[in-house]
Structure 1
Amino acid sequence: MTAPVLYDVQGPRGRRRVLISSIVGALVLLLVLGLAARRLAANGQFDYDKYKPFFTEPQLYRRLQDGLENTLHAAVYAMVLAAVLGVLLAFGRLSRRRFIRLPVIAVIEFFRGVPLLLLIFALFLAWPRVVHTDLPALWALVLALTLYNGAVIAEIVRAGVQSIPKGQTEAAYAIGLSRGQTLRMVLLPQAVRVMLPALISQLVVLLKDTSLGFVIGYAELLRTGGQLVQVLRNPLQLYLAVALIYIVINSLLSALAGYVEGRQRRTSARAPVAPTQVETGMGVL
């Protein structure tokens, strides 16, 4: 069978046009970068004094390390809580009982629609006025990230579960599994492979959104970088360093996701088919 293609194979003339366009685009990009570098050099942004603190101030790295640790603490707490909340909300939305499904839909749509920054302010400023108990900046940030990302993850999980062929559900019902058991034991494990790329992308967004903690005084990485800028007076260099830290962390997270996805794919390919498995026209349980 011939494999389907998404586009027609280009001929010699088409390949030549693509090559010319690529060369022109690369030259334009190099020109823009050259003009930017020239402007930065004219403003003294390449002077040694701007980079000297990175070589002579060990306190700078300790402060950045403290900010990074605070960022990771908030991100890990929020990732775990958002994943649990997302799965619970997804199961509620997939419920056949209207008195469960409709309130869950309302909760998901509400927290997806409310800006994350507003949630952070509400938990940090309004919560103490309502319950007369102060909420630490860390947990105000974590709970806001959990509510927002949990609602988004719920939709990712729901879409992943609904993408599984109906034959899997029918086969699970045929061997006596309930609706809840089918979701937990059959559909969700298979949906994980489908939704893993979208789920990891959302976790990367969550990690970057921890930078919003600066508005409530949480000493995460971006706020720490801003405090250092006020002392060292080199904002371009320090914020570039902070951006590189975020890029490295997100790249590691994406690499981990790729490894897990590849491992799951290899495990599924090697898994033997047991003779007691229930087979249907659309899938195998």
Structure 2
Amino acid sequence: MRIQKKITGFMVLLLFFFSFVGSLVPSAHASDAKKTYVIGTDTTFAPFEFQDVNGDFVGIDIDLMKAIAKDQGFEVTIKSLGFNAALQALQSGNVDGVIAGMSITDERKQTFDFSDPYFDAGPTMGIKADNNTIKSYEDLRGKRVAVKTGTEGATFAASIKDKYGFTIATFDDSTQLVDDVKAGGSVAYFEDYPVLAYGVAQGNGMKTVTDKEAGGSYGFAVNKGKNQELLQMFNKGLANLKANGEYQKIRDKYLDETASAPKTKWEVITSSMPAFLKGMGWTLYYTIVSLFFAFIIGLIFGSMKVSHNKFLRGIATVFVDIFRGIPLLLLVSFVYFAIPQAFGFTMQVWLASIIALSLNAGAYVTEIIRGGIQSIDKGQMEAARSLGVPYGTAMRKIILPQAIKVMVPSFINQMVITLKDTSIMSVIGLVELMQSGKLVVARTYDTFTVYLVLAIMYLIVITILTKIADRLERRVSRG
């Protein structure tokens, strides 16, 4: 009974901690001299949204949003999430609006309210620069083309695929379209013409062979019936910027068709290294924090799994089955998008990431602790109990010291797994090493160099941590 009360107390304390930490996060909606709005975007969509060499978010959409905020007297906080994630974050209430080269369509108007159009877009087709066989849509018959989810290019490709007899592969990032064509998975890709033209100007190895098709317009979006004040301020600010010439300056700044000199691979590495190192620092931070809570969770549920109480064992078993059985990608999406939308509150990206990582790792740590304890001969506990040693003391003084030696290799393995799992958090816009790499690729289109550097950095850090852990294991084994 005492153990059950302690476990219950630990669980209540853990729940209180997460609630308390969440309450410490400054709300972007809090009243201030200038109201602050959180705006979701996709910073892999140059020239509308991307990250420059200094790590700042720039582009037509970003500059336009900031200029309108200045004109209308409010503040904005930009969240880099990716296009699909930004829309889900808007629906769940984690952001107030989305500006991400988002086409205004009748279907989307059922869910979102749009501003006045701020850019007239249209799709076009791109192929490899050395491809001389694809000259028109007719040449796509029997082949595969790449498109990005939710874009004008994807809509147009879907409308003509049956006529011209090609298949479609769908991706989440614009740079993935180029990578797929380079790798030979697709022979062409459809993208909004300013994005495609910008990539060509940056030396991404692509070219265009067709004219721009007629397309829709981009608009700023808020949830239907929500944040109407923000929407009105956007429209007023946009009208003012068009009247004073600032809007045209922003367009001209990023749509200059003069090709940029492609950077060498060494220049890509050196200019991006500060962002990579910062990303690695955050990766280590989220790993350590998540493992700390995972260990607490694992200790609680691991103790419950070896308890003589069937009810406690049942709770622990359900916990392990749920959080070990749900894919981490689905878990973090559920925590960040679904739960806030269902219960009407907002959640910070870092908090959602730590919760998802902690629960996932905690399920595995529970089994590590359970396995370690049960690996010790039951006779030792029986002997201790027969000598009058209390259960808790016997567990703490006799069983656990031996079990820890068995657990250490598995703990080391879980540490490495959790560090690598932080890369999955990039899907909700958490800035760690993988997300830092994605942002650099969006700017440079040098996928091979960037991802090779990231792989080496992961390998170096994991090797160092493994060596340190191996030494610790040897010391524990000798102890």
Same-fold call, TM > 0.5? yes
1:255 to 467, 474, 478: 467
Partners of 1:114 and 1:53 lie apart in 2 by 38
Matching residue of 2:424: 212
1:149 to 358, 361, 364: 361
Residue type of the alignment partner of 1:244: I
The structural deviation recorded for 1:211 is 0.2
Unaligned runs of 5+ in 2: 1-182, 184-204, 206-261
Matched, 1:122 2:337: no
Matching residue of 1:91: 303
Residue type of the alignment partner of 1:97: N
More helix by share: 1
The structural deviation recorded for 1:130 is 3.4
Partners of 2:434 and 2:366 lie apart in 1 by 28
Q: 1:183 to 1:62 in 2, by over 3 A?
A: same
8 Å Cα contact 1:124-1:140 kept in structure 2: yes
The structural deviation recorded for 1:128 is 1.2
Matching residue of 1:35: none
Matching residue of 1:182: 394
8 Å Cα contact 2:286-2:354 kept in structure 1: yes
Unaligned runs of 5+ in 1: 1-39, 268-285
The percentage of counterpart residues that share the same residue type is: 33
TM-score by length of 1: 0.73
Partners of 1:194 and 1:207 lie apart in 2 by 22
The structural deviation recorded for 1:49 is 1.7
Matching residue of 2:268: 53
Higher relative contact order (CA closer than 8 Å, sequence separation 6+): 1
Which deviates further from its counterpart, 77-86 or 131-140?
A: 131-140
Matched, 1:64 2:276: yes
Equivalent residue runs for 1:241-280 within 5 Å = 241-267=453-479
Task: Give 4+ residue runs of structure 1 displaced > 4 Å after superposition.
Answer: none
Matched, 1:197 2:412: no
Q: Root-mean-square deviation (CA), in Å?
A: 2.1
Residue type of the alignment partner of 1:109: D
The structural deviation recorded for 1:259 is 0.6
Residue type of the alignment partner of 1:54: I
8 Å Cα contact 2:269-2:450 kept in structure 1: no
* Aligned length in residues: 221
8 Å Cα contact 2:269-2:449 kept in structure 1: no
8 Å Cα contact 2:340-2:346 kept in structure 1: yes
CA deviations over 1:135-180 (Å, ceiling 9, x no partner): 1111111111111111111111111111112232123213323333
Partners of 1:113 and 1:206 lie apart in 2 by 16
Residue type of the alignment partner of 1:155: E
Partners of 2:469 and 2:418 lie apart in 1 by 15
The structural deviation recorded for 1:48 is 8.5
The structural deviation recorded for 1:202 is 1.3
TM-score by length of 2: 0.44
8 Å Cα contact 1:161-1:188 kept in structure 2: yes
Matched, 1:238 2:453: no
8 Å Cα contact 1:127-1:135 kept in structure 2: no
Residue type of the alignment partner of 1:133: F
Partners of 1:62 and 1:99 lie apart in 2 by 51
Larger Rg, first or second structure (1 or 2): 2
Partners of 2:388 and 2:348 lie apart in 1 by 48
Q: 1:205 to 1:159 in 2, by over 3 A?
A: same
Matched, 1:173 2:385: yes
Matching residue of 2:292: 80
3-state SS, counterpart of residue 52 of structure 1: helix
